[in-house]
Structure 1
């Protein structure tokens, strides 16, 4: 039995040694395989790095080519900018010259516009005056003149009656009898009534835009007065002086409707000539 146990122990030791050796061999093989794998990885990494370096390797001309292209682009842009600046300078000079002459041009245009406006205004005023003259002439000749002429004739007759009544009243005032006083009062009343009628006719004429000319004095004005009689002047300086007014003159707007009829003085050298000249007939 002891011999058998010793044999069993010897076999067990042998098995343990075999297992240990086998384990050691496996470990060594694994370590060898691991080292080979690491070496292969390092070689692969080295190869890839070398390939990348080979691909990324650029020569000096290739490195400088983008820089040269950039410099050429900058030079070309600088030339274009210089050309543009020169054109801008020329344009600025031309604009400055044009702006310098602009106020003069504006003044000339303003003067032309003012001149044209003034011409248009004058033409319009002339046309307006001409049309107004046509209208006034039509109204005067077709509508107003017959009525105005009759009213002026009536005014002249009433003024003549007024003067005659004043003369008759003056003569009746010389009578000392009671009948003379009554006649004077009656004539005075009639004279007042006639004077009121004359004033009423003047008001009616004013509504028709007819006004009386101011009573003339001084020298004869041939535009607004007409001499119907003459008297001898004692002094040459009195030639043409107005002695008295026979009939009042009348205006219609800015027209002389009837000239004032007056008596004037004439120096003796022209007196006979004036007497020989026939008096103009009133229309």
Structure 2
């Protein structure tokens, strides 16, 4: 009996397993069929919607195409006008900027540098006059102190000439009369 019981149990177990596998297979096949049906419905809906959208677009687009083209042309014309005015404004700005720089440079030169250079020229003239007087006074004497003063004065004049070169002041050889090609009259004095 125990053998019968065991064999019966095995048969029942095998039958239950087989039934479960068949149920799973049937469930899977059923699920697969349903998925295919849903997929076909979605594809059908997609193609229908695509056709409808294309029909609507073919009706709407020709009517608005000429209107849109005219609007785009107006936009392009406006952009071209803006570019042209921007170019003119840019050139105007550049010329005004250049003019302002010239005014600034001329102002700095006329109000700051020119008076300073005139004062330095006066100092230079005075120092060269002193150097000439010192040289003529020391011609007869051989004083070491006088020679040192003369050298120091010469060095000061040379240093002043270096300052003139840095300020872009060029030295002109002295002439007896004013040469308007070289000289510029800074001031008139009546005699």
TM-score grouping bracket, smaller chain normalisation: 0.3 to 0.5
TM normalised by structure 2 equals 0.44
Q: Given the two structures, how large is their TM-score scaled by the length of structure 1?
A: 0.33
**Greater helix proportion:** 2
Which one has the bigger strand percentage?
1
